[in-house]
Structure 1
Amino acid sequence: MTAEIAMADIREWRGQPVVDEKDHRIGTLESVYVETASDRPFFATVTVGTLRPRLVFVPLDGAVVGPGYLRVAFPKALVKQAPSIGVDDVLPAEEEPAVFAHYELAYATGAGGERRLARR
């Protein structure tokens, strides 16, 4: 049984498997990036790769949780091709537009030019 995500609790799922819409394992949930204007969880970073692990970004829109996993609404191949950062890195502001573009999501900075995403 799956349930809609209670967004306030998503950080508690760190370390859980992340699967795509067909239950193909993508990787492990590492962290959550929120929209700075609303503090609403917007993207997750997923640890992928074993020899050279990296973090890829995947939107949380349409994601659901089940027993011991987070299912995202995007195919594994698309997620694995997403912009990535090192496992100890934070997304630089200038790379935010590429993350949104990869998933064909509109991107705009705040009214004062502030960045759109923040790691929580």
Structure 2
Amino acid sequence: MTENTSRTDVAALYDATVYEMDGDKIGRVGTVYLDDATGQPSWVTVKTGLFGTSETFVPLDRASISGTDIRVPYSKSQVKDAPRMETDAELTPQEEERLYEYYGLAGTSGTYETTGTTTGVVDRDRDGIRDRDEVGVRGAGHDTSGPNTDDAMTRSEERIHAGVVRREAGRARLRKHIVSEQVSETVPVTREEVVVEREPITEANAGKAMSGGDLTEEEHEVILHEEEAVVRKETVPVERVRLGTQEFTEQQTVTDEVRKEVIDVDTDSEVRSGRRGDDRRDRI
């Protein structure tokens, strides 16, 4: 909550709506309670229930106010279950202590202790409104969104771990089938042809030449031969074929989306942040 809230800002709170930090609506503001010492808004009542007929108190210590939006670190169910007080009268010291104890903000008998290690002293006016002149040592905070554990919050994030998994990528088979092709080969072939040879009559062949009749008809036959090209086929083994595997290594990049938790530090006053000036938000 900002430190210097003007009267105009206080009037605007009557038109404000209270939300959870994640944006879920809790209810509209009914009544605004001011601190007598500083004049700053200290409490508001929130209209809850059917048609807003029920009002419960919510502290503004850790509230974030922007225009007519008030965001508080409490759930709607937590606000609805707060101790019931009269909303048309001032808060008594005992009532305020009960509320602070319920929200984990204060102790009793003029001293208070927040859930965690924060301690301090509280002065009160006679009307029971809590002053802001707290003195003491503020230590670790506490968990306002769930069960209290320790004084720290754990931040987690997702990380990717790349590896390999072996899987079947495909199959290869050897399949043998028959194809036909034309093959030509040249071989020499020999044939016999008729050749007419004439020789004159001489003393050497005169006897054979004159052994027959004077004039006769005669036929003489000669057998001719030739070679013919033929084909003979035989099947012979030519090679052996088998399937094997060979490994190749390549670089491959994998990409995935990871989530991480981000912790925001909201400082809404000089007392809590140790700094002067406007509201400030740091990110861890």
What TM-score do you get using the length of structure 1 for normalisation? 0.72
Partner residue of 1:50? Answer: 50
By percentage of residues, which structure has more strand?
1
- 2:83 is aligned with 1:70: no
In structure 2, list runs of 5 or more residues that go unmatched.
Answer: 111-121, 131-284
Pairing of 1:6-25 with structure 2 (within 5 A): 7-8=5-6, 9-25=9-25
Alignment partner of 2:50: what SS?
Answer: coil
1:14-67 deviation digits (Å, cap 9, x = unpaired): 133211111111110112112223222111111111267221111112322346
Partner residue of 1:115? Answer: 128
By percentage of residues, which structure has more helix?
1
Alignment partner of 2:43: what SS?
Answer: strand
Change (3 A) 1:84 1:7: farther
Higher relative contact order (CA 8 A, sep 6+): 1
Larger Rg: 2
Between the aligned partners of 2:38 and 2:76, the Cα distance in structure 1 is 28
Across the two proteins, how many residue pairs are aligned to each other?
A: 113
Change (3 A) 1:15 1:43: same
Contact 2:34 2:40 in 1 (8 A): yes
Between the aligned partners of 2:39 and 2:72, the Cα distance in structure 1 is 20
The answer to which of 48-57 and 14-23 deviates more is 48-57
In structure 1, list runs of 5 or more residues that go unmatched.
Answer: none
Contact 2:46 2:58 in 1 (8 A): yes
Identity among equivalent positions (%) equals 27
Change (3 A) 1:28 1:98: same
Pairing of 1:62-101 with structure 2 (within 5 A): 62-66=62-66, 68-85=68-85, 89-93=88-92, 94-101=94-101
Between the aligned partners of 2:104 and 2:32, the Cα distance in structure 1 is 19
